[in-house]
């Protein structure tokens, strides 16, 4: 065929797909293509050592010929240490490995609301595979300073003691710390339940927990209607160590994607003590030098780069926020342990749950003397902040004065009155779990206490009186911005009298 015959008309009328195929075939040139392949040297305890793959980098995904896959976690002169994320029964030494050409990411977006997934995006709730085209890296830099804004809006947890004396703002990192069995997870779950109807999307991360505990948490969220605005990320106790290690980063990436779109989000890490132990396990298996308590030297950086991603963005960057509630376990109340002190130094405050208060029946067992919110007060509503300011001081003074009553000393009438009011306040601050309360109720009982309207209520009737007050608040009450006199007038009309079940 001569050169002129190549410009015939029928070639122009070919479909676009046919033209594209013809172009690809025309551009094809036979040449030598080189690919990297490595070989598994050993496998065990969720770790694989691979020889070869000279161009592998940290956090690269590796694919094995048996269908397993892993992520590069350590680089040595002769071998690569990889953390397994999916392992088949046929993965053995001698299996071929190659680079997948990508780093770890997780699906994000609206499709994740109401779903239960593992840290790499596989559904665990028996539902359909996630149909999200948008993915986000698990580990990414935190927002720069110029993209951040001040914490200005309150995040209501529904817990009387927290919302008044240890307030939390949107974009804050507030640590929940205490011994096992003191109600740390219950406090976090109450905070998630209280976001119903407040346009706050939640991510609950379960790290290294038993399957029974995981199922119980999911059922609780579903029964109280919180699962529709919540995503649960699970790295359960029986999962590979790599999945438990990646769980908080996956949850953070999901919440971060919503924050970038301008939404307010809340992410709970339950808990980071187990996460630190998993990281220590992986590091020791990969022969990294151990440090204090056998933790690797970068354990502080591990949690810092995770929690620093929680912030509030300025309007130019969408105005979204991500509030983080990391949970950490202490042993025998030792708050000065290595991991707790690390997290205390990273976060913006802590809520300490005292085992002695819990054993005495005071729930939530929050120790006000050792709990603090460094920036939450700036986000607290001005009316609630005004009432709570002097109340916290009075409560702390009461705790000190009560010590003297243990010696049986005779007190003057003024001192006895202060102790009596302090005991009334302590009874008011008691609250059962799964009973989140609106901010209007918080202001109502504080004004009622400050005005002495609750002084005549017997201690045994305090909770019934507060329940009746809560019912009255939900039926209709002044706005938070209303004048204090208007609130006092409303309380005199609606606050139940002693011996009555309602106003």
Domains, the chain? 38-103 (2.40.30.20), 106-380 (3.40.50.300), 384-494 (1.20.150.20)
Does residue 40 register a pLDDT over 90?
A: yes
Q: CA nearest 70: which of 30, 43, 93? A: 43
Confirm if 207 and 239 have CB atoms less than 8 A apart: no
Does residue 93 register a pLDDT over 90?
A: yes
Q: Quote the pLDDT of residue 13.
A: 38
Q: Quote the pLDDT of residue 10.
A: 34
Does residue 147 register a pLDDT over 80?
A: yes
Secondary structure letter of residue 6 according to DSSP: G
Q: Quote the pLDDT of residue 16.
A: 46
Whole-structure pTM value:
0.90
Does residue 53 register a pLDDT over 70?
A: yes
pLDDT band at 397 (very low <50, low <70, confident <90, very high): confident
* C-alpha pair distances (Å), 119 with each of 76, 153, 218: 27, 30, 16
pLDDT tens digits, residue range 246-259? 999 999 999 999 99
Q: Determine the average pLDDT of the residues in 71-93.
A: 94
Per-residue HEC secondary structure of 227-245 comes to HHHEEEEEECCCCCHHHHH
pLDDT band at 31 (very low <50, low <70, confident <90, very high): confident
Secondary structure letter of residue 128 according to DSSP: P
C-alpha count within 13 angstroms, C-beta hemisphere, residue 169: 23
Q: Quote the pLDDT of residue 351.
A: 97
Provide, rounded to the nearest whole percent, the portion of the chain with pLDDT above 90: 78
Q: Which of 374, 430, 433, 484 is catalytic?
A: 374
Q: Annotated catalytic, 426?
A: no
Q: CA nearest 395: which of 161, 215, 48, 55? A: 161
Q: CA nearest 367: which of 357, 378, 380? A: 357
Q: Determine the average pLDDT of the residues in 367-382.
A: 93
């Amino acid at each position: 065929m001569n050169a002129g015959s190549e410009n015939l008309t029928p070639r122009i009328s070919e479909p676009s797909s046919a033209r594209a195929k013809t172009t690809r075939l025309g551009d094809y040139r036979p040449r030598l293509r080189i690919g990297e392949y490595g070989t598994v040297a050993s496998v065990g305890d969720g770790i694989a050592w691979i020889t070869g793959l000279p161009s592998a980098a940290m956090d690269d995904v590796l694919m094995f010929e048996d269908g397993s896959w892993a992520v590069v976690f350590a680089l040595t002169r002769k071998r690569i240490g990889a953390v397994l994320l999916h392992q088949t029964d046929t993965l053995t030494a001698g299996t071929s490995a190659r680079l997948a050409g990508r780093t770890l990411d997780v699906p994000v977006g609206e499709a994740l609301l109401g779903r239960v997934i593992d840290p790499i995006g596989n559904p665990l709730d028996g539902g359909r595979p996630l149909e999200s085209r948008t993915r986000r890296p698990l580990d990414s830099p935190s927002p720069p300073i110029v993209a951040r804004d001040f914490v200005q809006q309150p995040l209501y947890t529904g817990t009387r003691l927290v919302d008044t004396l240890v307030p939390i703002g949107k974009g804050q990192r507030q640590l929940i710390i205490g011994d096992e069995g003191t109600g740390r997870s219950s406090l976090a779950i109450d905070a998630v339940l209280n976001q119903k109807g407040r346009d706050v999307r939640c991510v609950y991360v379960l790290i290294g927990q038993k399957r029974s505990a995981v199922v119980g948490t999911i059922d609780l969220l579903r029964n109280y209607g919180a699962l529709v605005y919540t995503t649960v990320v699970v790295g359960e106790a029986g999962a590979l160590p790599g999945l438990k290690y990646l769980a908080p980063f996956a949850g953070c990436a999901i919440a971060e994607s919503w924050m970038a779109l301008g939404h307010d989000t809340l992410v709970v890490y339950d808990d980071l003590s187990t996460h630190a132990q998993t990281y220590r396990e992986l590091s020791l298996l990969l022969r990294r030098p151990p440090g204090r308590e056998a933790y690797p030297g970068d354990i502080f950086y591990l949690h810092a780069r995770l929690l620093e991603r929680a912030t509030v963005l300025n309007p130019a960057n969408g105005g979204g926020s991500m509030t983080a509630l990391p949970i950490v376990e202490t042993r025998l109340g030792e708050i000065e342990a290595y991991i707790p002190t690390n997290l205390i130094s990273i976060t913006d405050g802590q809520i300490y749950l005292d085992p002695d208060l819990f054993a005495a029946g005071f729930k939530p067992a929050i120790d006000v003397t050792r709990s603090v919110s460094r920036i939450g007060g700036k986000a607290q509503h001005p009316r609630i902040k005004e009432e709570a300011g002097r109340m916290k001081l009075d409560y702390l003074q009461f705790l000190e004065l009560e010590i003297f009553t243990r010696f049986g000393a005779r007190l003057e009438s003024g001192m006895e009155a202060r102790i009596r009011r302090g005991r009334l306040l302590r009874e008011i601050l008691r609250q059962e779990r799964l009973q989140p309360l609106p901010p209007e109720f918080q202001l109502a009982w504080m004004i009622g206490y400050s005005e002495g309207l609750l002084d005549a209520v017997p201690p045994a009737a305090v909770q019934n009186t507060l329940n009746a007050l809560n019912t009255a608040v939900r039926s209709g009450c002044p706005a938070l911005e209303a004048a204090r006199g208007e609130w006092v007038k409303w309380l005199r009309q609606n606050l139940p009298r002693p011996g009555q079940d309602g106003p």
